[in-house]
Structure 1
Amino acid sequence: MKLFSTRFISGAALAMALSVAPAAFARTPVDQLVIGTSLAQVLSLDPQQGTEVKTQEILANTYDRLVQFSGEEGYAIRPQLAESWEVDDTGITFHLRDATFASGNPVTAADVVFSLTRLIMMDQSAAANLKNVGYTPETIADLISAPDEKTFRIEMTDSVIPESLLYRLAGGTASVVDSAVVKEHVSNDDYGNAWLRTNTAGSGPFVLRRWTPNDVVLLEANEQYWDGAPAMRRVIMRHAPESQAARLMLERGDIDVANALTAPDVLTFTDKEGFSIDEVKTGGYYVLSMNAGREPLSNPLVREAIAYGIDYQGIADTILGPYGRPRNVPVPEDFEGAIDNPDWSFQPERARELLAEAGYADGFDLTLKTIAQTPRVDMATAIQASLADIGINVSIQQGNGSDIVASHRARDFDLLIPQTGAFMPTALGSIDNFVTNPDNALEANNAGNFVWRSAWDIPELNAMRNEANGERDDARRLELLRQMQEMFIAQKPAVLPMFERFEPIVISERVHGYEGHPWSLTRLDDVTKTED
């Protein structure tokens, strides 16, 4: 049974508590969960806009989706706002539970229609997962409906199978917002975005009390939550970008969970009494994005040379550790339908031969952009050293989340290290980011598309991807996926998977029920804590 507390401290007292230096922190209270993390990439809390990894845990706890999944039960889709649903030949019908938003307004099917319409009409990168399977500003009104207050209906396009659509609706960007509250805050036809960037209007187990960028996020229990108030009266996410400081805070009991530690600091907790390490498989990758719209990266031979010019195993052993393992195919090796890895191990002589064949025997200069965040900064330095061995002089430009993400979306880079996820835990879900680019033209301005950002034109791969997404025969879809992986390797990708990505989280033994999520949609309503 979920516990519940109505005790609150004043805003002034809270501000004082949060401003105390870490060394002065006492053991965290039993009814508060304190998470040490990096908030550098939290740019917007609008669920139809914010896609960054750390944003998702905030959205997961302040909003609900129709459906959800976790690492339990084989990643099976489970109910959330929808109590049940039926799949037929043309669409899916959802039946909503009785639930209310934090405002007290009832959650209705009209709110679901409003939220998904808002997602598509705002037309930002958050909409990519639905836009890429045919839900567009031109089609959305005809594809979703609310037959009554508790019934929501979505039609399937020719580019999506039921399983894939359900997983897309389980994502943070498909969160259901309180349409009445959001409409009250619309300004200059912005769909309420200016207000919702820094406020919440959801039905989740927590509500946003405070967000100070690169400092703190404070969530308070939603006493009206439809599944009962959470045990944690308060969740505090503290910006702790310095790994050693965060490790010491965790050891002292100043924080309960740390999810932005360096690999060496994570490993100090191996078999350490009082702590556990949750190594979350994301299905995504750390990627080297190459701007194929710029010379010499437009040349496939140059891209192949770079693929042979990176010491993947060395980086995995010395930097990544629990954060990842080498893999150059955009489907994890243990997913059904995955092909073997190509021989893109560190072979500097082979890389130099390819550069000479491409007409760059004397090498060239490039700039590598990366978010100043673990483990990407150290990866960038290692890549810089590896590529120097083959004659490519790389300078590194670090920046905060907003700077680097903006450069990526604007195609303003030579090399860049982003990370991907998988929209569902299958080969189809993991490869989608790497093979989707319906229109490579600059004027298409499809910044929500991962491949478009690298200006890599892949019409054949995109066509095969569309076929696989609409193929309901499992055997035929698996064969298409194998062909796509082979074609991806053969084309010397401008979006080079380097390492399958894991999220290591160190958790105090005082915390129970904290389970990391593949998409960082970690729910905290069932988390409890003990005194010791």
Structure 2
Amino acid sequence: MTRFSRILITGAALATLIMAAPAMAATPDDQLIIGTSLAQVLSLDPQQATEVKAQEILANTYDRLVHFTGTSGTDGSTIKPQLAESWEIDATGITFLLRDAEFASGNPVTSDDVVFSLVRLLKLELSSASSLKTFGYNADNIESMVSALDSKTVRIELTDDITAESLLYRLAGGFASIVDSVEVQKHVSNGDYGNEWLRTNTAGSGPYVLRRWAPNEIVMLEANEQFWGGPTAMRRVIFRHTPESQAARLMLERGDIDIANALTAADVANFANKDGFEIDRVKTGGFYMLAMNAGKEPLDNPLVREAIAHGIDYQGIAQTILGPYGRARNVPVPEDIEGAIANPDWSLQPEKARQLLAEAGYPEGFSLTLKTISETPRVDMATAIQANLAEIGITVRIQQGNGSDIIASHRARDFELLIPQTSSGEPTALGSIDSFTNNPDNSLEANNAGNNVWRSAWDIPELHELRGAANRERDVAKRLDMVRLLQEMFIEQKPAVLPMFERFEPIVVNAKVQGYSGHPRSLTRLDGVTKSDVD
């Protein structure tokens, strides 16, 4: 966390806060108020929700077998115990020993709950399952791959397509949260594994439970009295929908909220030299990406995609719009990860871009629609890209929408250009590039909506094959060589899933808040957060 000077802000009570009264206010000492965007929070079912802003809610209402903090230092990426007290790895699988823990309902956490949760993940066949499906786990084989050896011992078999290290990192993801199978099965309707109920309720063993969710307004969590980790300092955690950056900045300044994580770059910069606040710039391992639908003309032409890659001012956008949110990078592996290759020369080169369009048969250019979620910083990025591409003869119409609309368009291949954000399955080069090179079946019938590349209809059998071989390779040095080759081939094929900026998450925190550290997957745990007076 980047630390600046501190100040104590004082004021009124939570009731005033929730009613958004204009009076000066300081949040109560036992309550944490986070100003964020809830626009993409569409479900709180952990085996369904993939949206970034939903993950922090899920991380505090559920546990996974294992986790990692993602913090800087020597062990930030080290897998650590959560519900699994310990584990043993052998040639064919991993055996986990569970700690004594209870769900919020009072039901004990058992191996049956772990099996139910992972089977449920694959049987629901939702996009979140892709993180395991890509490695050979599926609805047909999952019941033979995970088993309860006794009430506290779980065994997960390895497929031929995954290493034990990669499986552990995947199990640290929000989709691998362990749900209370006894409670969930009370709410099953028409074979939905309790999905309809879990969309708006929680059944976990994490430090908090859901007390209220009003979409695009508020999510309220209260301390879980059954939490195995003991009492939490924060009795209540509230996520307030504050999509307007300037309003969120003012609320943070006057003490109405403790944390803001949806500010514009300019509003983040406002706190850089302000007493009483800290800026946590979280390295996510993911990217802001330009998705091009290779199933539609003219984007099916690699020359057109290359022209677009040369038609964007990455450095200019990074400096004037993204600021703390990102840095220019066109290879889907963060530049400081072992095995990353140098960036290609895809800088803004209008003349070269126009020449490529002429070679592709479009000397007069054409028109496209760019879809984006209406939130920071993607709207400003879209406007800049619109202006950039106009210089090379491509007229872009921007279509903004809420999270559900734009995400649905992406999953249905119903777009021409679209700006999604990605995350990394694990903090390694192979984990970073995996979702950019994985597409086992590009056919429309495959309906692989959880697959990033499939959504862009980009058929890449050579890349997919090499990516699979790299995941199967147990020798670390050989695997790194394959990952370097994978990046080179990715660039050569003029990707329809174009990484533009390595993605960071700037979070501004009142200095009274102690123990808050953003997680690269937004799985930030809050049970260790406290508040204290500052000088």
TM-score bucket (shorter structure): over 0.9
Aligned 1:184-263 pairs, distance under 5 A: 184-263=186-265
SS at match of 2:22: helix
State the Cα distance separating 1:402 from its structure 2 match.
0.2
State the distance in 1 between where 2:532 and 2:279 align.
Answer: 18
Per the alignment, residue 33 of structure 1 pairs with 32
SS at match of 1:270: coil
Per the alignment, residue 306 of structure 1 pairs with 308
Per the alignment, residue 67 of structure 2 pairs with 68
State the distance in 1 between where 2:148 and 2:287 align.
Answer: 37
Residue deviations 1:426-470 (CA, integer Å, cap 9, x gap)? 101110110000000001000000000000000110011111111
State the Cα distance separating 1:206 from its structure 2 match.
0.2
Assess if the C-alpha contact under 8 Å between 1:30 and 1:531 holds in 2. Answer: no
Q: State the AA in 1 paired with 2:466.
A: M
Residue deviations 1:219-261 (CA, integer Å, cap 9, x gap)? 0001110010211000010000000110011010110000000
What's the TM-score, normalizing by structure 1? 0.97
State the distance in 2 between where 1:131 and 1:71 align.
Answer: 24
State the distance in 2 between where 1:60 and 1:53 align.
Answer: 11
Residue deviations 1:481-516 (CA, integer Å, cap 9, x gap)? 001000000000000000000000000000000000
Q: Which runs of 5+ in 2 are unaligned?
A: 1-12
Per the alignment, residue 50 of structure 1 pairs with 49
Per the alignment, residue 325 of structure 1 pairs with 327
Q: Which runs of 4+ in 1 moved over 3 A?
A: 16-19
Per the alignment, residue 173 of structure 1 pairs with 175
How many residues are aligned here?
Answer: 519
Residue deviations 1:8-35 (CA, integer Å, cap 9, x gap)? xxxxx98x65652352362100000000
Assess if the C-alpha contact under 8 Å between 2:220 and 2:236 holds in 1. Answer: yes
State the distance in 1 between where 2:177 and 2:107 align.
Answer: 16
State the distance in 2 between where 1:272 and 1:21 align.
Answer: 24
Residue deviations 1:348-373 (CA, integer Å, cap 9, x gap)? 00000000000000000000000001
State the distance in 2 between where 1:135 and 1:238 align.
Answer: 37
Per the alignment, residue 377 of structure 1 pairs with 379
Match of 1:282 among 281, 284, 288: 284
* Distance 1:180-1:527 versus aligned 2 partners, 3 A rule: same
19-28 or 154-163, which deviates more = 19-28
Match of 1:350 among 352, 355, 359: 352
Assess if the C-alpha contact under 8 Å between 1:22 and 1:249 holds in 2. Answer: no
Cα RMSD (Å): 1.0
Assess if the C-alpha contact under 8 Å between 2:70 and 2:77 holds in 1. Answer: yes
State the distance in 2 between where 1:22 and 1:458 align.
Answer: 54
SS at match of 1:75: coil
Q: State the AA in 2 paired with 1:103.
A: S
Residue deviations 1:151-205 (CA, integer Å, cap 9, x gap)? 0000000100011000000000000000001000001111100000000000000
What's the TM-score, normalizing by structure 2? 0.96
Assess if the C-alpha contact under 8 Å between 1:25 and 1:254 holds in 2. Answer: yes
Match of 2:429 among 403, 427, 434: 427
State the distance in 1 between where 2:503 and 2:514 align.
Answer: 25
State the distance in 1 between where 2:205 and 2:19 align.
Answer: 32
State the distance in 2 between where 1:489 and 1:25 align.
Answer: 53
State the Cα distance separating 1:49 from its structure 2 match.
0.1
SS at match of 2:298: coil
SS at match of 1:476: helix
Residue deviations 1:204-224 (CA, integer Å, cap 9, x gap)? 000000011000000000111
State the distance in 1 between where 2:250 and 2:18 align.
Answer: 18
State the Cα distance separating 1:74 from its structure 2 match.
3.2
SS at match of 1:45: coil
State the distance in 1 between where 2:63 and 2:279 align.
Answer: 27
Q: State the AA in 2 paired with 1:384.
A: Q
State the distance in 1 between where 2:310 and 2:144 align.
Answer: 48
Per the alignment, residue 394 of structure 1 pairs with 396
